[in-house]
Amino acid sequence: MTDTVSNADVARVSEIIAARSGLHFPENRFVDLERGLAASAKQLGLPDLSSLMKKIRSSGINAQEFEVIVFNLTIKETYCFRDKKILEALEHSIIPLYTMARRNAKKTLRIWSAGCSTGEEPYTIAIMLHRLMPDLAEWDITLLATDLNPSSIEKARDGVYNQWAFRETPAIIRDSYFQRNADGRYRVKPHIRRMVTFECLNLATAEFPSVLNNTNSMDIILCRNVLMYFSREVISRIVDNYYRSLLDGGWLVVSPAETSHIYYNQFKLVNFEGATLYRKDVSGKKSDPAGVKYPVSVVPAVSDVTADLDKLIPLVSAPDKMPLTESAFQKTIVESPASESVSTAGNSHEDSRESYEQALQFYGDGMNEKAEETLNAFYEKNREHEGAMTLLARICADRGKLEEALQWCDSALQVNRLAPGLYYLRSVICQEQGQLEEAIISMKKALYLDSDFIMANYSLGNLELNMGRPGSAEKYFRTSGILLSRLKQDEILPESGGLTAGRLSEILKSTFAYKERSGD
């Protein structure tokens, strides 16, 4: 505390700020309050902290000046793909819940990122939707993103970020959805930018839900790392408003630090692996304090998202899709071509093999760029080498260069038309490009060559399901089940990125349970 301001003065200013912004500065945070005010005084051209405090107490602060103050008092820290566990619950369970339930109904999805800061959170969700929903163009998606700070909203609309914003983002996502500027920063690509509507909105004072600010009829509200800065009364009021903003069956997502039984008792607690979410449940039943448990990666399927939670049946995850989280990008090393012949054009056979093996080593160590470089050089002298081309296809796919990946796949297939793994890889790449018909053709070729290929059977089932052909999907799922029953539980499935036979069996069981009950 400086000697020019009294504790009582700071307390009064703290109250005024809380009433206008919801921001809560109790006595143990007076130091932060004063620091923010001192910075504001400077920016507003006032001589010192006490003159600004006097101005605030005499209600002499206009809207623009207040904006400056609030900007200096808020924590704006955010980044892309923040909190993996919550994102996994959204990616594997909640979003698929809606896409499955509304596939044959009105295809609308309404999501609100409240307290979005500079936009990294809503853009993360937009990218997730883009990757999860091949038929995105047919959906009416609302992705509303709001914040109190107009300058944060301006920055969010611009969508330009430095490398630090991607500290939790897989490089493949960054490179696929952001353009690198000349200054080394990254800008969200226009098709993702267009998915998000940014607006200024003060959660403490705004009227919501309201059609006027588009805060009504939401399916999912994300309000992460925002409520923690408010007083108890303000939190209760905002959470109450969120409850009313959500449709029946809708979800409230807060950060792990903000979960608390005190504020959310109208909601039903739903536990995912490593994440607790709140669901609006209109059944009137009291929430089990321990919460409802869903294993992550299992979609609670409902024919109608307003259905009673107790009737929810787990459906199916999509482990064969490249998920968004880092683990999904773990590399599976292309089998070492120990027995493969290496053609040598003028170069020594040994040198050639060495550089190929070196490339495999780089790939195994996650040094994709080096692996690609080494392989390209190797390929120049070994143009018929299937292993090199396959590995190049994988690396390009990992790095988001899907067109190039597809070309390498096709070149490898020219050399060996009988490689089921190559058709499988080709199919996965086509899925990433949203070319589902083409993906199905390649997957069928993989199966034609190896009818015991479990991941191909399973993936084809998912592809058929995505195309709205549940009968055909079931055929492939059943074959997968039969094949799996011959394996040990802990056996890793080829081309699965580490999925065990036991885990896939569980997923399949859930799939059948859903199908039987939904009468598909």
Ligand X SMILES: C[S@@+](CC[C@H](N)C(=O)[O-])C[C@H]1O[C@@H](n2cnc3c(N)ncnc32)[C@H](O)[C@@H]1O
Answer yes or no: are the C-beta atoms of 344 and 382 closer than 8 Å: yes
Length of the chain: 520
Least CB distance from residue 40 to ligand X, whole Å? Answer: 14
Tokens of 412: 């490898």
Least CB distance from residue 212 to ligand X, whole Å? Answer: 17
Residue 237 or residue 469: which is nearer to ligand X going by CB?
237
- What residue type is assigned to position 461 of the chain? G
Least CB distance from residue 496 to ligand X, whole Å? Answer: 32
Burial of residue 62 (CB within 10 Å: 0-12, 13-18, 19+) is: exposed
Helices assigned H by DSSP within 276-385: 349-364, 368-381
Q: How far apart are CA 111 and CA 376, in angstroms?
A: 44
Least CB distance from residue 254 to ligand X, whole Å? Answer: 9
Residue 215 or residue 510: which is nearer to ligand X going by CB?
215
Residue 162 or residue 341: which is nearer to ligand X going by CB?
162
Q: How far apart are CA 91 and CA 320, in angstroms?
A: 13
Q: How far apart are CA 68 and CA 55, in angstroms?
A: 14
Residue 221 or residue 419: which is nearer to ligand X going by CB?
221
Q: How far apart are CA 266 and CA 269, in angstroms?
A: 9
Angle between helices 30-43 and 63-73 (to 10 degrees): 130
Least CB distance from residue 82 to ligand X, whole Å? Answer: 5
Handedness of CA 272, 275, 279, 285 (dihedral sign): positive
Least CB distance from residue 69 to ligand X, whole Å? Answer: 12
Q: How far apart are CA 448 and CA 67, in angstroms?
A: 64
Between the CA of residue 25 and those of 11, 21, 28, 204, 442, what are the distances in Å?
8, 11, 8, 14, 60
Residue 77 or residue 138: which is nearer to ligand X going by CB?
77
Least CB distance from residue 399 to ligand X, whole Å? Answer: 27
Least CB distance from residue 102 to ligand X, whole Å? Answer: 26
Q: How far apart are CA 245 and CA 241, in angstroms?
A: 6
Residue 147 or residue 398: which is nearer to ligand X going by CB?
147
Least CB distance from residue 500 to ligand X, whole Å? Answer: 34
> By the criterion CB under 6 A, which residues form the site for ligand X?
21-23, 74-78, 82, 115-117, 121, 147-149, 152, 202-204, 224-226, 229
Residue 203 or residue 493: which is nearer to ligand X going by CB?
203
Residue 67 or residue 135: which is nearer to ligand X going by CB?
67
Residue 18 or residue 413: which is nearer to ligand X going by CB?
18
**Other residues' Cβ atoms within 10 Å of the Cβ of residue 126:** 25
